[in-house]
Amino acid sequence: MGVSLGYFTLQIAADAFTAHTLPPAPPPGPLEWALLMLTVTSFGLVALAQALFPLWAYHPAAAGLRVHLANGLYVHTLVERLLGHYGDRHVR
């Protein structure tokens, strides 16, 4: 309760301190709304997948999928190939 009270007190003080010094935020356009919907949808899908995980955790296909997900879908390997192993070079 004390942390919440301190947070909101500091928020109100910062708002009063910077009143009329910053320009107003522009209204969100179609891109911002699309990104917002993409974010909310992706979080919802991840939450649904995590909720359903106990139901399909022992399926044989889930074991293979778990290996690929544990390796980050090999994004690091793809990035290294695109950059030509730039991150592995050491300056001597």
Band of residue 87 on the pLDDT scale cut at 50, 70, 90:
low
Q: Which amino acid is residue 10, in one-letter code?
A: L
pLDDT in tens, 27-42: 999 999 999 999 999 9
Query: What's this model's pTM, rounded to 2 decimal places?
Result: 0.51
pLDDT in tens, 60-80: 888 888 888 888 889 988 888
DSSP characters over 10-77: HHHHHHHHTTTTSPPPPPP-HHHHHHHHHHHHHHHHHHHHHHHHHHHTTSHHHHHHHHHHHTGGGHHH
Distant-in-sequence, close-in-space partners of 6: CB < 8 Å, separation ≥ 6: none
Q: So what's the pLDDT on residue 90?
A: 54
